[in-house]
Chains A and B, each alone.
Chain A
Amino acid sequence: MLEIKNLTVGLPSRAESGFDTMLEDVSLSVEAGQSLGLVGEAGSGKSLLVHAIGGLLRPPVVPIGGEILFEGQDLLSMPPDDRRLILGEELSLVLPGGRIRLNPLEKVGRQIVRVLRDHHPEMAKAEALERAIQLLDRVGIPDPDKRALAYPHELSGGMAQRTVVAMALANSPRFIVADEPTTGIDVTIQRQILEDFAGLIREDNVGLLIVTRDLGIVAHFCDRVAVVSEGRIVENAEVRTFFKEQQHPVSQELMRATVLERQKAAEWSAAAASR
């Protein structure tokens, strides 16, 4: 469904190579009804990949080679007007950051209404607003009918991020690319959102590519996991095999870091208990 073939992204430089590459020869594929977790250390190029999929790269960073096929059509070489019909409708992206992703001058309900009505002009305003409120409710925002009338700065960071997720879900996309969709969200809501995603995958055959730093999310919600390091995919495995044994040193390091975190938490509770 989403197939990335030999994608190389970089910036033209004075180096003899001609290019500084930030993603090199990346190949991935995710089928309908499948979910792939993309993990990797900070700055490895995960968000860059998401930007490439969304057509958000801008000079000097440009795609140098490869293809991003969505249902067989190359998003990279497609005219922007065609890509626009797909984005937000069949293929939705969730960008990280929460409030900074919302137009500060518009009520959030209205922003969701616009996502709905831009792709479905025939939808009545009242109906769209009702759907927007349902969507806010679905991502766990309390008092959604009141919150729909709030401006982004009137929401907490977590609520704003949930609104961003709601916008991505608005038009019932068939594929979701989510870059750290639940970072900064309260863990219970985080679970609710991820379970919503899992439901979409199971029942509506939606495909999911999720970028995360949290191997816990991968273990619970993904079928496959791909590890990025310095712009390359260094490991791509079934989740079951990955958690049994990691092939690449970077993957092993990621595992160790997670385990360390867990130990730290245990240490903290021990420290707190001993006071």
Chain B
Amino acid sequence: MTTTDTPETVDSFAASGDGRIHGLRRMLFRKPGLTTAAVYGGVGIILLLTVIGPSIGPWLADAGCACGWGSEQIDSGHALEGPSGTHFFGTDRSGQDVFSRVLAAPRINLVIALAATALSVVIGVPLGLLAGYIGGRALAATATSELIMRFMDVLQSFPLFVFAVVLVAVRGQSTEIVIIALTIVNLPVFARLARAEMLTVREQPYADAARILGHGNFRLIFRHLAPNSVASSVATVPMVIGFVILFTASLSFVGAGVKPPTAELGGMIRVGANNMVTGEWWPSIFPGVALGLMVLIFAFAAQDIAARMRAVKRAEGLMSAETSVEAG
């Protein structure tokens, strides 16, 4: 019955025709625990505020609620009033309602963060993949790869903050410039991650297997190598978003960020900071807490995604070890 008389490892799966399908994807999207639910609830609230935040103040005012007004509306007659039933978070020195501004601010912060992160992913990841794929091969290719990575070194060796401030100083204060500065700052992060993964992925046994099936370079990269090389970049996105939010606020805090009167958390903290010494804490503290919460939520989300990816990797690894066949 057998071709060989030597005892072979019997493939028990095959022998039993067992249809055990492992729910790895289910694990990735497993039912969230309480903390996870809170984290993603937080992300949801931030997203919601991005959409409707700036309208909440005016809505409340229109609805006859005395608790605030438009986030950019100024009423110098009521400057620096403490938190009350009328102004939940008080008013700042120009009489703007802090509550409606805190609700309005996430829009600009998140738009900047998403735009800058998206841009640095869209530019950085392909550059990194390319550098990783062509590196260490023919001379011209290696040179190109090195050029890309040394350029990333240059970008990364600038003191980030000074770089961003200078860029804003030179090109003038605008949201676009802030986005560009933050994109440049984060480009090297994604380029490096993508390159490092591509370097290992291109040497994987399945890459060779794809090559001998006659798939061309283009298909090889886009189908087999790139999708397998982006996991760490993806896992890093929420962390970078958090970082960018903080960075934008810092830029605005030193006056190099978003132009007033647009409600922006760093800018609000800056305006209120002048009043801190005289005891009017509310114009700074409330946006400060909001900023801290936003960054924290994205940090937790980053951690959660990384943990899920590890769990999947581990499960895959275990299964491979269990049933893998010796490679020749």
Chain A residues with CB under 8 Å of chain B are 46-47, 51, 54-56, 81, 84-89, 92-93, 95-106, 114-115, 118-119, 140, 142-143, 146, 150-151, 153-162, 164, 167, 179-180, 183-191, 194, 211, 214, 216-217, 220-221, 258, 261-262, 265, 268
Q: Is the CB of A217 within 8 A of B227?
A: no
Q: Is the CB of A216 within 8 A of B328?
A: no
Residues of B within 8 A of A81 (CB): 216
Q: Is the CB of B4 within 8 A of A211?
A: no
User: Could you list some 26 contacts between A and B, CB below 8 A?
Assistant: A56-B208, A56-B212, A87-B212, A93-B212, A95-B208, A96-B325, A97-B324, A97-B326, A100-B205, A101-B206, A101-B209, A103-B206, A118-B214, A153-B24, A156-B18, A157-B13, A158-B14, A184-B9, A184-B326, A187-B3, A190-B4, A191-B3, A216-B5, A265-B5, A265-B6, A268-B7
Report which of B1, B212, B216, B328 forms a contact with A54, defined as CB distance below 8 A. B212
A86 touching B214 in the complex, CB below 8 Å, given contacts A156-B14, A186-B15:
yes
Residues from 212 to 230 in B contacting A, C-beta threshold 8 Å:
212-216, 219, 223-224, 227-228
A156 touching B13 in the complex, CB below 8 Å, given contacts A100-B204, A101-B206, A114-B223:
yes
Residues of B within 8 A of A158 (CB): 11, 13-14, 323, 325
- In the complex formed, the residue of A with least CB distance to B25 is A151
For chain A, what secondary structure do more than half of its interface residues adopt (helix, strand, loop), or is it mixed?
helix
Q: Hey, what's the 0/1 contact readout for B285-328 against A, CB within 8 Å counting as 1?
A: 00000000000000000000000000000001001100111111
Residues of A within 8 A of B11 (CB): 156-159, 184-186, 189
Among B7, B11, B13, B19, chain A packs the most CB atoms within 10 A around the CB of B11
Q: Closest approach, in angstroms, between the C-beta of B136 and any C-beta of chain A?
A: 8
Q: Is the CB of A190 within 8 A of B3?
A: yes
Q: Is the CB of B21 within 8 A of A118?
A: no
Report which of B7, B19, B208, B227 forms a contact with A146, defined as CB distance below 8 A. B19
Residues of B within 8 A of A162 (CB): 14
Q: Is the CB of A96 within 8 A of B327?
A: yes
Report which of A96, A103, A156 forms a contact with B210, defined as CB distance below 8 A. A103
Q: Is the CB of B17 within 8 A of A55?
A: no
Q: Is the CB of B4 within 8 A of A216?
A: yes
Q: Closest approach, in angstroms, between the C-beta of B317 and any C-beta of chain A?
A: 9
Residues of B within 8 A of A214 (CB): 3-4, 6
Residues of A within 8 A of B31 (CB): none
Interface size on B, residues (CB 8 A): 47
Residues of B within 8 A of A261 (CB): 5-7
- In the complex formed, the residue of B with least CB distance to A140 is B14
- In the complex formed, the residue of A with least CB distance to B1 is A188
CA distance A262 to B10 in the complex (A): 17
Q: Hey, what's the 0/1 contact readout for B131-149 against A, CB within 8 Å counting as 1?
A: 0000000000000000000
Report which of B4, B323, B325, B328 forms a contact with A187, defined as CB distance below 8 A. B4
Q: Is the CB of B6 within 8 A of A100?
A: no
CA distance A258 to B228 in the complex (A): 41
Q: Is the CB of A88 within 8 A of B214?
A: yes
Q: Is the CB of B216 within 8 A of A194?
A: no
Residues from 53 to 89 in B contacting A, C-beta threshold 8 Å:
none
Residues of A within 8 A of B24 (CB): 151, 153-154
Among B14, B21, B208, chain A packs the most CB atoms within 10 A around the CB of B14
Residues of A within 8 A of B30 (CB): none
Q: Closest approach, in angstroms, between the C-beta of A58 and any C-beta of chain B?
A: 8
Report which of A118, A216, A217 forms a contact with B219, defined as CB distance below 8 A. A118
Residues of B within 8 A of A92 (CB): 212
Report which of A86, A100, A220, A265 forms a contact with B327, defined as CB distance below 8 A. A100
Assess whether B211 is interfacial by the CB under 8 Å rule: yes
- In the complex formed, the residue of A with least CB distance to B207 is A103
Known: A187-B4, A191-B2. 17 other contacts (CB 8 A): A84-B215, A84-B216, A87-B212, A88-B212, A95-B208, A95-B212, A96-B325, A118-B214, A156-B323, A158-B323, A160-B325, A184-B324, A189-B11, A214-B6, A258-B6, A261-B6, A268-B7
Q: Is the CB of A99 within 8 A of B3?
A: no
Residues of A within 8 A of B324 (CB): 97-100, 157, 184
Among B3, B212, B214, B323, chain A packs the most CB atoms within 10 A around the CB of B212
